[in-house]
Chains A and B, each alone.
Chain A
């Protein structure tokens, strides 16, 4: 046997994992080759010392992992409706109307997020946020834990949080704002998959073509939520039926989404209806900096 074939078998010889015939050959080689035998000695010495290098993790992650694998859930009620809220240590992970049975809620959660749910009390700060959201009040911050969703869905949901109560935006607007102006349908899908409705206001997104569009809990509920927040749905619908998407002020030359807080302040005599972005450009209007309506693409 040659030196290199012997050398790569030293480790298994030490561990006694070598078949008898090979072991014999290696031993024979070692008996004749001093160099290899010395190598064997140093390697064996190393091999006996190395296991002492095992170290200990300074903290155990059993608790942390357990926490991450099972989330809590609780019920939050407001005057208008009651919802089940699931939460992790980082925030709200799921909101669902209590109309869905408890077992189904847990099964769906396991299916989608891979975690068990156990009944626990919702931390007070999160409870306040959910209650506010249910009343259609503006949230200063929303502690939602959506970090495990696909990146695009996260981007969309975080953008939705910027739409204040009483206003609506279009799917195309969200698409542009998230940096993917063509992904209008994808935004729709992301909204449809919103795990934390009410808190992340997916009901404040409507189709460019008019109407209020679809909603996971039915179009009627979407209308009810928007009306509750002070959106004048009838006016917007009559506008879009006549083909107008934006309103502008003849004094400032700025055009807005009709629900923009600035648009609501335009006086009746200065109010100009705008068909679309092209029309706005033709009229020499500039886009509002608050609601950032779409611009005509270059």
Chain B
């Protein structure tokens, strides 16, 4: 998949028919997931994804020359654009979501976008929903890293390119984010048992 995507960049640059649609189709869902984890709002996330592709199109067709397009690692590059745009959007909404949502607001929290869990048992589904809620209460950096590493299963090298952090730093941060998720999950489970 990866080399295929990188070839697409060049195809878009050369304005080959349908190349850009392929690129959008291939990354749309991934980027939506990512941006949604960052800003936790479906509409804003969709808007950011759309703007990401507009930026990408502009860059590939207008700003980058051929060697640059040929050498481009499309996936982390797109993630990076999406990340920047999402952060701009967040800045606009800062007062509202800078803090992770307080736990009490999460009692009735339903993920706006349901994971495709229709096929699994009710217990698993409940468990996943709990996990989703726990993830949603983490600080944005932790959410981001958990998403990139464990949901999108990106390599550390690509996460480094996306976030601009060093790989060594990332290992520690990813570990601490996951631990935070575990602790949050454990504390919500305790609460639900206590009730």
Contacts and interface: CB of A to CB of B under 8 A. Distances in A.
Interface of A: 7-12, 17, 39, 42-43, 46-47, 49-62, 64-66, 68-69, 110-111, 114, 116
B175 A62 contact: no
A16 to B, nearest CB: 12
18 contacts: A42-B182, A43-B178, A46-B178, A50-B146, A52-B128, A53-B115, A55-B32, A55-B33, A56-B29, A56-B116, A57-B29, A57-B32, A58-B46, A58-B113, A61-B46, A65-B54, A69-B20, A69-B57
A225 to B, nearest CB: 33
B109 interface: no
A61 B114 CA distance: 19
A8 B151 contact: no
B92 to A, nearest CB: 15
A55 B57 contact: no
Interface in B146-195: 146, 149-153, 155-156, 171-172, 174-175, 178-179, 181-182, 185
A49 B182 contact: no
A29 B142 CA distance: 27
B62 interface: yes
Contacts of B36: 55, 57
A7 B174 CA distance: 11
B53 to A, nearest CB: 5
A52 B117 contact: yes
Contact of A7 (B114, B120, B175): B175
A55 B111 contact: yes
Contacts, number: 115
**Binding site secondary structure of chain B:** helix
Nearest to B125: A52
Given A55-B33, A55-B115, A50 B151 contact: yes
B151 A53 contact: yes
B6 interface: no
B117 A114 contact: no
A102 B169 CA distance: 54
Contacts of B150: 46-47, 50-51
A77 B174 CA distance: 62
Contact of B50 (A17, A55, A56, A65): A65
Contacts of A60: 25, 28
Contact of B46 (A12, A57, A66, A69): A57
Contacts of B128: 49, 52-53
Contacts of B146: 50
Given A43-B178, A49-B128, A110-B62, A57 B21 contact: no
Contacts of A51: 150-151, 153
A53 B112 CA distance: 12
B131 A49 contact: yes
A3 B21 CA distance: 48
B140 interface: no
B135 interface: yes
Contacts of B120: 52
Nearest to B20: A69
B36 to A, nearest CB: 7
A17 B155 contact: yes
A12 to B, nearest CB: 7
Nearest to B153: A51
A53 B132 contact: yes
B64 to A, nearest CB: 12
A263 B130 CA distance: 72
A114 B135 contact: no
Task: List 6 tightest A-B contacts by C-beta distance, closest first.
Answer: A57-B32, A55-B113, A50-B150, A114-B58, A8-B175, A65-B53
Contacts of A46: 131, 150, 178, 181-182, 185
B115 A12 contact: no
Given A56-B116, A116-B15, A66 B21 contact: yes
B178 A11 contact: yes
B72 interface: no
Nearest to B114: A55
Contacts of A10: 175
A57 B175 contact: no
Contacts of B182: 42-43, 46
B84 interface: no
